[in-house]
Structure 1
Amino acid sequence: MTLDPISLPASADAATWTQWLDARSAAELDAARELVRAVRTSPPDDPRSALHAWDRATGKVGGLAALGSLIGNVHPDESVRDLADAMEQDAQRLLTEWSLDRGLYDVFAALDGTVVADDAAATRLLEKVRKGFRRSGVDKDEETRERISKIRDRLTGLDQEFSKITRDDVRTIRVAPERLAGMPDDWLAAHPAGDDGLVEVTTDYPDAIPARMFALDQDVRRDIQTAFLQRGWPEAEPLLEEMFALRQELATLVGYADWASYDADVKMIGTGSAIPEFIDKIAAAAQGPMESDMAVLLERYRRDYPEATEIPLYDSFFYQRLVQEEQYDVDAQRVRTYLAFPKVRQGLLEVTGRLFGLRYEEVDVPTWHDDVTSYDVFRADSGDALGRIHLDLHPREGKYKHAAQFTLVEGVAGEQLPEGVLVCNFSRGLMEHDHVTTLFHEFGHLLHHVLAGHGEWYRFAGVATEWDFVEAPSQMLEEWAWDPSVLRTFATDEAGEPIPTELVEAMRRSDDYGKGIYARTQMFYAAMSYYFHADEARRAAGEQVGSLTDRMIALQKEYGALPYLEGTHMFASFGHLGGYSSAYYTYMWSLVIAKDMFSAFDSGSGAGGAGDMFAPDVATRYRDRVLAPGGLKDAADLVADFLGRPYSFDSYAAWLAR
């Protein structure tokens, strides 16, 4: 049976999208409610039938929440974004209602045995369903369940408000053209002076990152960095404080000591107390590399500022670039000339197609904006359709400001092809190599979503592994953006000459230089994510706790490599405090696993030979044993299936010390 992708509105205008969203929401909710009504009133005798109905119902409603999240972050019309936000909240409200329905829980609690007809996937699903009900608080009294419902509803709203602030708060500085000396020629050409004779520089990535890296004027670097780190403040602070307090209350209502313990219970890490232990372990491992990195950076800084005892945050990007140029012979502006966006995008498709045996076919289909490019994805060997992807890669007003993969629809065999969306904010012209690695990283999520969308259960479709593993496949895919032989296939200058191998090797050496700074910065973010929530538990116990800004400054001093920039509040635009909550440690936890998984390619195990980035047996084994299963197994088991052993810390430690 041939499955058709979802049909989006033929026009991007608000009225058309409003009608389409309303119709889709009504149809999916009606179908889901009918499935659940039947389960509640006439429970099937067969456990598998009950699970199937529940999986389809929650899949439909979860799909609406995902659709609302996507459109609320990308549609150009604010009224449509608001409608999508409301749709997401309605869907989450219904899922909460079901999760607290004691009658529904009793249906699944009463199912015979713990094994569903020798079906490992169905048995796993039954375990997940039962645990999900218990974690929701379904066994609590009616008053407590009502309070839980209100908390969850408010948390969804707070998360949306916070996301909107981080999405919409774009700060600007206005600069005389002569103060922009050092900026790339293509950047200057795209930023003419306005009627007042000044050039506008925004905090969007294509403006802010080059300004921090290349502007010779220190005041410009300081002003754009300050503006960037002031986004979201002060509006976000009270929202976050309320969010943390409600998470703490929710956790205790359902029987956990604190939010981190509740959240970690369904992750690889297992317990909340293991989070600060992991943060401190990485911080300790990175201490030596960080000190070495900072000594090099400060030595270079003192050539211009002899009395300096530390390097300010707003100068760090500029001087890290100078170190790369002077000590590693890496000219960042020269590197950019090989990284024209259209070539990079095409190269990404060719690299991942070759690696995973895929073929991409561009399709002209309606989306929410003309910037979006869509592709159907096929298996290269059989021609079987695998799904559809949409690339929305350039900034615009009202759009999500970071880089992420969003779900358009989950895929299930015989019912629905998976569709995913990559939402980023890259330049339309020349790119920094850091943005190239970001593009590869986020595309890794997209591949995971598409390849894992062909099983029987919505619950295990797509990126459905433990949340502290989801970054590992994407982090591993970054390696292909660093390999000289891979880069030379698409990184070419205007004359068509590929990027020199020696330049890429120098880039790699210069990237190794900053790993200590990077690791400690990540641990600062992870500590902030964890301790903001841990402090709420202390506050609930009657202890005095300071402001979020004060706590952030203290954590930056303890864990960060670079000093605090006076007058800034970076947490106010740190969007990961929404979705990742207390678990930003995830990025480094996943990186430990990613480095270990990449060792299978790096060592060239199999037919590909030493260091073969496209070793076919390794790539196929990785695709089929790690990506394609989705959530059918625990992440540790998926990795062991691929590596032939449990994952270890060794590859990461060797990488960090290199």
Structure 2
Amino acid sequence: MDQAANQANTASHANGDNPLLDFTDLPRFSEIRPEHIGPALDVLLATAQAAVDRAEDPATEATWANAVEALEAATEPLGRAWGVVGHLSAVADTPPLRQAHSDNLPRMTEFWSSLGQSLALYDKYKAIAASPEFATMSTARRQLMENELRGFRLGGAELPEDKKPRFAAIQEQQAQLSKAFSDHVLDATNAYALLIEDESRLSGIPEDALEAARHAAEKDGKPGWKFTLHFPSYFPVLQYADDRALRQTMYEASVTRASELAEQYGQGKAEWDNTANMREQLALRREEAQLLGYASFGEVSLVPKMAESPAEVLRFLDELAAKARPYAEKDWDELKAFAAGELGLSDLSPWDVAYASEKLREQRYAFSEQEVKQYFPEPQVLKGLFSVVEKLFSVRIEADQAQTWHEDARLFRVVSPEGELLAQFYIDLYAREGKRGGAWMDDARGRKLLDGGRVQTPVAYLTCNFTAPVGGKPAVFTHDEVITLFHEFGHGLHHMLTQVGELGVSGINGVEWDAVELPSQFMENFCWEYEVLADMTAHVDTGEPLPRELFERMLAAKNFQNGMMTLRQIVFSSFDMHLHTSFDPAGEKSVLALSREINDRAHVVPQHPLSRWPNTFSHIFAGGYAAGYYSYKWAEVLSADVYAAFEEAAKLSGTVLDAETGARYRREILSVGGSRPAMESFTAFRGRAPQIDALLRHGGMAVA
């Protein structure tokens, strides 16, 4: 344990054994209460500020140990404790926890803002970079120093002193608005419930979705079936319900969340409307960019990314859209013709799209997602996922024990073949009230070398929102959910299998944002390999693996409507970049109007007049992807090309789970984390620059 953690643990005993001040091992989740947050931060902020003061002191010599190491030792416990608070807010939200988070957010933001603005620290770091010591540093340390110097510039350290208070205020306001945006989406999602007592209205909805809805109604002491806007409850209605009016009701409630229409559609209060919040955030980001001397926030966002400019990003999106559009037009024309001819839906509305698509998929490929789902019970899926990781990367994954925030959350450990602990991860798979929607990986603790050659092993959170088990059977996942799980585990591997000892560039730390999706999207590819699925499936009733013949039909349907889905992602990405470059937050045009403009230009599927999807676009307004959503598509080019190396290896070894290629991937990409530029890691693995061919081929959009 390092010096600052020792100090924090000593303080913990002085503060009545505050669990947030205990860094001896994993967080003591079941003991943490909202009232622990303020006192813990009192101690940790004081310790961190004292370290900053020492490092800033002109009498303190500018060396790695005196500045970089000393600051990290004092600020890491603060970051870890606040990370626990943020995690609990996302997965176990309660009014007292939300209040405690909100009360302490300003002082956390103020501390990090003042750190980034410190000219004295910036000068110390510049002196270290210019000293003879710099030349003797490892590659990882030099990269960390370059990142830190860039961070000071973007943090406002070079601003005139009279501009710094405004810059700090902008950071605080943005943090508050971002949290409020996320809270509004969660509250609006939680607020809506539709109780159906007439069973005839539920025709077409799968039995497991009905069982979950019946169970939800029972929990409320009500008869019938309760449907909510949490995805596992909402989407089966859109995809399978024969009752068109029911689909329309659910659709309208979902797309009006956190908007000015929310009250009208039964899921919210006026104060949960995110319309003004978005404009305020965009205005603050624009002001921040102008203070830093940039033309737009898009430019600021790209400074630490691979892409050179907003123009380059928009050009990339336009080129990809041009390749996808003919396929999307064909998808849309086929769906409209099928809906009109087979389903009697001559006016295809948004609440019909998922339903008609599922019916077309069933007719064309003779299977339904519901049929496939029965082959993916949770225990078998996890066993199969772990098996892939173990074969590729020569590790073992074992169940572990620790306190968790909910009975559904579990802990596992990753060990070497010799049994050495490499990492641990929590997994929390099911949707529930008080838990933010979506799926994500977050780090609980990063890897770093400690005194005496000991290693602080990394710990990850892997969070999803799948349907919980009901009726005594294990949870069963759709194939899309399995892909999501593999995706998040890819992020987890990037964090957990790093071999870098410098915290700031170990794992996902310091990796360019538009490359951070490479390991996650890479892992998705294994969900389309029969040798993987044969080991990962067991029918929930019979135990039979997925039949080869059904898999072939799934494979044939793999790129079903991929043209439409690609354009949908391009709409999100292009909207995001235009919002942060050419859009004027103080102008007459609304955020919603811009979304319609982009959709009309880029997509073949019209945007419904009711849709307020920007109001729940948490990625860019509450999730760090502002002017960075394009990175999903950007990194997809990289990940498809990386996976092509495994396909090439399989021609010789007979398996895509090729251990030699896996070892090379682990060595050149996962192990190095952010210790070198992502493009260097890619070319070290692939032996050349990335090519788009594999992405187009995997997506069924390659020209024969």
Q: TM-score, normalised by structure 2?
A: 0.87
User: How far apart in 2 are the matches of 1:528 and 1:224?
Assistant: 25
Which amino acid is the alignment partner of residue 451 of structure 1?
Answer: L
1:172 aligns with 2:172: no
**CA gap 1:18/1:174 in 2 versus in 1, 3 angstroms:** closer
Q: Which residue in the other structure is 1:190 paired with?
A: 212
1:8 aligns with 2:27: yes
2:210/2:225 contact within 8 Å kept = no
User: How far apart in 2 are the matches of 1:97 and 1:389?
Assistant: 32
2:105/2:176 contact within 8 Å kept = no
Q: Percent identity?
A: 26
Q: Which residue in the other structure is 1:200 paired with?
A: 226
Q: For residues 313-462 of structure 1, what are the structure 2 equivalents within 5 Å?
A: 313-379=350-416, 381-414=417-450, 416-428=456-468, 429-452=475-498, 454-462=499-507
SS at match of 2:424: strand
Task: Report the CA distance between 1:40 and its aligned residue.
Answer: 1.1
Say which is worse superposed, 129-138 or 64-73, in terms of deviation: 64-73
Task: Report the CA distance between 1:327 and its aligned residue.
Answer: 0.9
Say which is worse superposed, 515-524 or 644-653, in terms of deviation: 644-653
Q: Which residue in the other structure is 2:169 paired with?
A: 150
User: How far apart in 1 are the matches of 2:245 and 2:395?
Assistant: 48
Aligned-residue Cα RMSD (Å) equals 2.4
Say which is worse superposed, 80-89 or 208-217, in terms of deviation: 80-89
Q: Which residue in the other structure is 1:102 paired with?
A: 119
SS at match of 1:365: coil
Q: For residues 560-579 of structure 1, what are the structure 2 equivalents within 5 Å?
A: 560-578=603-621, 579=624
Query: Residue 515 of structure 2 is aligned with which of 461, 466, 469?
Result: 469
Task: Report the CA distance between 1:182 and its aligned residue.
Answer: 0.8
1:596 aligns with 2:613: no
Q: Which residue in the other structure is 1:273 paired with?
A: 311
2:339/2:345 contact within 8 Å kept = no
User: How far apart in 2 are the matches of 1:606 and 1:616?
Assistant: 14
Say which is worse superposed, 116-125 or 388-397, in terms of deviation: 116-125
Task: Report the CA distance between 1:533 and its aligned residue.
Answer: 2.1
User: How far apart in 2 are the matches of 1:534 and 1:272?
Assistant: 8
2:466/2:481 contact within 8 Å kept = yes
SS at match of 1:92: helix
Task: Report the CA distance between 1:98 and its aligned residue.
Answer: 1.1
Q: For residues 522-533 of structure 1, what are the structure 2 equivalents within 5 Å?
A: 522-533=569-580
Q: TM-score, normalised by structure 1?
A: 0.93
Q: Deviations for 1:217-238, whole angstroms, at most 9, x for unmatched residues?
A: 1122222122121222131111
Query: Residue 599 of structure 2 is aligned with which of 546, 550, 556?
Result: 556
Which amino acid is the alignment partner of residue 411 of structure 1?
Answer: R
Which amino acid is the alignment partner of residue 121 of structure 2?
Answer: L
User: How far apart in 1 are the matches of 2:393 and 2:513?
Assistant: 23
User: How far apart in 1 are the matches of 2:345 and 2:368?
Assistant: 27
Query: Residue 529 of structure 2 is aligned with which of 483, 508, 526?
Result: 483
**CA gap 1:253/1:17 in 2 versus in 1, 3 angstroms:** same
Unaligned 5+ segments in structure 2 are 6-22, 261-272, 469-474
Q: Deviations for 1:159-181, whole angstroms, at most 9, x for unmatched residues?
A: 11111112222233333321111
User: How far apart in 1 are the matches of 2:524 and 2:180?
Assistant: 32
Q: Deviations for 1:385-427, whole angstroms, at most 9, x for unmatched residues?
A: 1121111111121111111112212221235221111121101
Task: Report the CA distance between 1:532 and its aligned residue.
Answer: 2.1
Which amino acid is the alignment partner of residue 369 of structure 1?
Answer: H
Query: Residue 39 of structure 1 is aligned with which of 38, 44, 55?
Result: 55
Say which is worse superposed, 1-10 or 412-421, in terms of deviation: 1-10
Q: Deviations for 1:436-493, whole angstroms, at most 9, x for unmatched residues?
A: 11111111111111112x4221210221210011111111101112211211112111
Q: Which residue in the other structure is 2:341 paired with?
A: 303
Which amino acid is the alignment partner of residue 439 of structure 2?
Answer: A
Task: Report the CA distance between 1:342 and its aligned residue.
Answer: 3.0
1:406/1:420 contact within 8 Å kept = yes
User: How far apart in 2 are the matches of 1:447 and 1:20?
Assistant: 32
Q: Which residue in the other structure is 2:322 paired with?
A: 284
Q: Which residue in the other structure is 1:77 paired with?
A: 94
User: How far apart in 2 are the matches of 1:409 and 1:219?
Assistant: 48
Q: Which residue in the other structure is 2:109 paired with?
A: 92
User: How far apart in 2 are the matches of 1:30 and 1:371?
Assistant: 36
How many equivalent pairs are there? 646
Unaligned 5+ segments in structure 1 are none
Which amino acid is the alignment partner of residue 352 of structure 1?
Answer: V
1:338/1:492 contact within 8 Å kept = yes
1:462/1:631 contact within 8 Å kept = yes
**CA gap 1:63/1:85 in 2 versus in 1, 3 angstroms:** farther
1:449/1:461 contact within 8 Å kept = yes
Task: Report the CA distance between 1:138 and its aligned residue.
Answer: 1.5
